[in-house]
Structure 1
Amino acid sequence: MSWLLFLSHNGSWPSAVATAVALLLVTYLVSSTLYSITLHQLAGFPGPVSCAVSRIPFWLACLTGKQVQWMHDLHVRYGPAVRYSPDDLSFVDDGGSVWKALHSRHEKGGREFPKAKEWFVTPSNAIYGINSAAAHEDHRRYRSLFAPAFSERALKSQEPLFRSHVDLLLSKLDEAAVADQPVDMAKIFQLTTFDIMGDLTFGQSLGQLEAKTYSQWVEAVFASIRAIPIAQLIQYYPLLQGLFNLIEPQAIKDMKYNHFKHSADRVDQRLERGSDKPDIWNLVLSAQGDQQLSLDEMYCHADVFMLAGSETTGTAMAGFTYFLLTNPDKLAVLTREIRARFPTDADITMESTAPLRYLNACIQESLRLYPPVPVGVPRTVPAPGQEVLGRWVGPETRVSVHHYATYRSAANFTEPATFAPERWLAEGKQQKGGGGEDSAAVYAGDRREAMQAFGFGPRNCLGQNMAMHEMRLVLARLLFRFDFEICDESRGWTDQRAFVLWEKKPLFCRLKVAV
């Protein structure tokens, strides 16, 4: 205490305090930096020093929409495992082993790594759904309950619903073809997929395709995508989250409330009026005992299915269209496959399109080059830790497989930037390419198991079977009926930013009815 009294008597107290605080801050920063790059449990993993000591480079990449390419560049420079923040690792899968290490259960009856809750935007009613950070027991209950709604049997009963929306899509494109008007295919796919999920989720279409414009609710969904990284940043830091809760603008509160209320009101209306359609809620309402959903859980999953079952499928079909139209030799092969197989449009069904080898290969290749969710979804390593790629990763580390970086890795795929559907064809059954050569053999060494666009393990996408059937049905019918040509202003369409989801530009195409 004597030195404090001396300073106070000599009038130098304020400057001395400022000096002491500055010295302590510098000491803390230096010691923290040294610890992070020498003694921290992740100190041995490669990555930029700036990322080892701070999360700021990562946040900047996320907030500017450049995270996808930024992370890809890090992996090209540093290898399959990259430390991109003090407590986070990103991996490029090497053909299945990393997916298994991070996404599977590691012992019989065990649990998979939990998803990092702060990565998911907090639901308005605080209920985390099947595709986010739901607790293990809740996720198992949800999956058991919803699985029948996405089974082959359910899809067969739902096919007339899908066909009616595709019929409407074809009629709108007929009008554009007759008028020789360019069509934004990215938008029209989103109109279609949201209308379909509206029928499956709420028992009625959103009516967007008929009106050829987004509803207010869907417009709000797209407008909010850019804010996802902001929400993730706030949620990552408890102090920042607490401060934001105190000063959150009323306009944001109103927007979140109205978005939630839109889904909740439509669930209430669906439950009140009933339905004899084969939609999701007929299966939900048939559940008994502990399997039943609470009303809040129904509200949450209405939101989940509307976004997860619509935006991503529409995005995938837009990517498919772009890559085919910019690779006319591949488009010619696919068009021949479809038009040679089916005598009439009525013959094109979910069942009849499932075996189309080149169509399936084109979809897979589009998902590889343009995955609808291109980033890594972090999991939290539980105690005592886990070995990944031959190295020990300690508990509480956030780990993820980065989709885009994995699918563009030269270690996994030959000519990784090339659109080559042939790489997905079985060895020994080569498909003639547009140039007339047997090209499948070139890609025989590709690690195709590395591509898991629908996720991996017990928390993979429950609706992937439906998405594949829907895409095959829509795309086969479009290519059977129309010849497409991309407009010049949409070349380079995949040069996009991503805020977890892609910020898509218009994909203008011209089309004419096939002769």
Structure 2
Amino acid sequence: MASTQTSFGAIQDTTPPGAITSKVILGLLALYLVSYPIYALYLHPLSRYPGGTLEKLSRIPYWIACIKGNQVKWMTAQHRKYGPTVRFAPNDISYTEAQAWRDINLVPKGKKENGKEIRFHAPSANGTPNLITEPSAVRHATVRRVFAPAFSEKALKQQEPLFQYYADLMVARGRRKGTVNMAELLNFTTFDVMAEFAFGESLGLLEKDAYSDWVATVFNTLIVLPAIQMIEFYPLSRKLFSLLEPKSVAKMRLDHFNHTVTRVDKRLKEGSPKPDLWNLVEESGVLTTGEIYTNAELFMTAGTETTASLLTGTTYYLLKNPDKLKILTDEIRGRFKSNKDMTFEALGQLDYLNACLREGLRVYPSIPSAIPREIPEGGNVIMGKWLPAGTRVSVHQTATYRSPANFKNPDDYVPERWLGDPTYKDDIREAHQPFSIGTRNCLGMNMAWHEMRLLLSKLIFNFDMKTEVDESWSDQNVFVIWDRKPLPVTLEDIGAPA
């Protein structure tokens, strides 16, 4: 510090004020850099939870894994190393135990809901929440009650002709092509089905044998979801991105949303005699215009890619295990004499079919990562331990389903584990919750089950499926959902009766 002595002998500080400010800032920064690691590792409320040192200090290792598409492998490795409960970021806890599903997602009397972690989900173009992102438990329940009738068993029975039509169109396309990319064929089918359901008209993907620009945008967006999540997570980066977002990106988001708006407006204006979404919901005037648009967009993403993904993965594992495929083929062809006999009700009674799909949901879950919740004000108890407000908690699906503590031979595709095989009597089946549980579980779960059973059965009833099984196919990146590789399959038509 510079100083001078006055004529009266006093010492006077001559350091410029700016230099003092800089020194204070540097001192505070040094104090933070020294004290924060001590706090994060030893004094933080989550310090007793196991996890890596870097992970306890920063979210950066997690973000790197997400953006590289390596999050599922990374998180599974974390659990294999540290156990069923892992602190994988300063304020994040991941679980792989069945009880965690209940503690995180259920809301018993006297307990506050663990709220949705909104920053995990990409914001809608109009800023209006949908069923997944609605932060208010009361509003979520209100909106869900409006849509619930469209997904009831009674409504699904009315909608069955729609599903049958596109299942048969899928089979017809398979006959024309001979060899197909199964991932693509199933995407075409599920998007056409959901467009008819949500908009009253098909996208025509099966007929055109090509993706539309709108659907292609969906897939392009999925790949950058982790980057969007990271930007949304931090207020500063969110603000900077809003200022610096490229015009082309903003236009793509807006065009995609406006496509939904145009189709919904057309459907609501023209009406439809078919039992689609808008003819089956309660006409109560509860939904705002913004909620109508955002939820229609939600159904077109959550109800399409996830179903196609599960069916592609299940097809792969059946082809990889020809003994399982034969058992399923014998069950389907032994039960039905024609395509028209394959009704929702009849397919629901096929034990091995249901077991194959459930095992597919275990080894290749539609949502392979986790959907986090946030502990509310006042804290909550998870797995017998109190957690402070703001802690993010989740059950990681792949890590849970591939845990030897939950499932014997966890990496093997074994439908028999769901059918009482004594070899797997100690499996913890309650740990398997691919559609989540509680008041915010998947509204379209029953629809998904009917669609999955129908599409897979139609393929197996009409074709002998063959492929050169690529053992590396299942080694895929994950950008929230699977970044599926092409799955070429030769479909040999067996001439099944219509």
TM-score range, shorter chain: over 0.9
Q: Does residue 1:296 correspond to 2:329, yes or no?
A: no
The CA distance in 1 between the partners of 2:16 and 2:197, in whole Å, is 75
Partner in structure 2 of residue 356 of structure 1? 350
TM-score, with normalisation over the residues of structure 1? 0.91
CA deviation string 1:144-188 (max 9, x = no partner): 1111101111111111111111111011111123xxxx2100011
Count of matched residue positions in the alignment of Structure 1 and Structure 2: 490
Partner in structure 2 of residue 419 of structure 1? 413
- Tell me the secondary structure at the aligned position of residue 115 of structure 2: coil
Shift of 1:455: 1.0
The CA distance in 2 between the partners of 1:132 and 1:461, in whole Å, is 13
Does the Cα contact within 8 Å between 2:3 and 2:15 map onto a contact in 1?
no
Q: Does residue 1:446 correspond to 2:440, yes or no?
A: no
Query: Residues 328, 48 of structure 1: CA spacing in aligned structure 2 closer, same or farther, 3 A cutoff?
Result: same
Partner in structure 2 of residue 89 of structure 1? 93
Q: Does residue 1:49 correspond to 2:53, yes or no?
A: yes
Does the Cα contact within 8 Å between 2:2 and 2:15 map onto a contact in 1?
no
Shift of 1:288: 2.1
Partner in structure 1 of residue 105 of structure 2? 103
Query: Residues 3, 72 of structure 1: CA spacing in aligned structure 2 closer, same or farther, 3 A cutoff?
Result: farther
- Tell me the secondary structure at the aligned position of residue 232 of structure 1: helix
Partner in structure 1 of residue 79 of structure 2? 75
Q: Does residue 1:487 correspond to 2:468, yes or no?
A: yes
- Tell me the secondary structure at the aligned position of residue 82 of structure 1: strand
Does the Cα contact within 8 Å between 2:313 and 2:364 map onto a contact in 1?
yes
Does the Cα contact within 8 Å between 1:114 and 1:133 map onto a contact in 2?
no
Q: Does residue 1:35 correspond to 2:39, yes or no?
A: yes
Match of 1:385 among 379, 397, 406: 379
Query: Residues 406, 294 of structure 1: CA spacing in aligned structure 2 closer, same or farther, 3 A cutoff?
Result: same
Task: List runs of 5+ in structure 2 lacking aligned partners.
Answer: 6-10
Partner in structure 1 of residue 8 of structure 2? none
TM-score, with normalisation over the residues of structure 2? 0.95
- Tell me the secondary structure at the aligned position of residue 164 of structure 1: helix
Shift of 1:10: 7.3
Q: Which residue type is aligned with residue 288 of structure 2? A: S
Match of 1:337 among 331, 344, 348: 331
Shift of 1:30: 1.5
Q: Which residue type is aligned with residue 148 of structure 1? A: P
Partner in structure 1 of residue 70 of structure 2? 66
Query: Residues 57, 7 of structure 1: CA spacing in aligned structure 2 closer, same or farther, 3 A cutoff?
Result: farther
Shift of 1:384: 2.3
CA deviation string 1:226-285 (max 9, x = no partner): 11111111111111111111111111110111011000000110011111110001133x
Alignment of 1:161-180 (within 5 A): 161-177=162-178
Shift of 1:485: 1.1
Q: Which residue type is aligned with residue 507 of structure 1? A: L
Does the Cα contact within 8 Å between 1:484 and 1:512 map onto a contact in 2?
yes
Alignment of 1:215-230 (within 5 A): 215-230=212-227
Does the Cα contact within 8 Å between 1:112 and 1:458 map onto a contact in 2?
no
Alignment of 1:96-495 (within 5 A): 97-107=99-109, 111-177=112-178, 182-284=179-281, 286-288=282-284, 292-425=286-419, 427=420, 440-488=421-469, 490-495=470-475
Q: Which residue type is aligned with residue 234 of structure 1? A: I
Does the Cα contact within 8 Å between 2:465 and 2:492 map onto a contact in 1?
yes
Does the Cα contact within 8 Å between 1:184 and 1:506 map onto a contact in 2?
yes
- Tell me the secondary structure at the aligned position of residue 413 of structure 1: coil
Does the Cα contact within 8 Å between 2:2 and 2:14 map onto a contact in 1?
no
When the two chains are superposed, the root-mean-square deviation of aligned CA atoms in Å is 2.0
- Tell me the secondary structure at the aligned position of residue 439 of structure 2: helix
Shift of 1:106: 2.3
Q: Which residue type is aligned with residue 353 of structure 2? A: L
- Tell me the secondary structure at the aligned position of residue 242 of structure 1: helix
Does the Cα contact within 8 Å between 2:380 and 2:388 map onto a contact in 1?
yes
The CA distance in 1 between the partners of 2:18 and 2:148, in whole Å, is 69
The CA distance in 2 between the partners of 1:391 and 1:410, in whole Å, is 24
Match of 1:496 among 476, 483, 490: 476
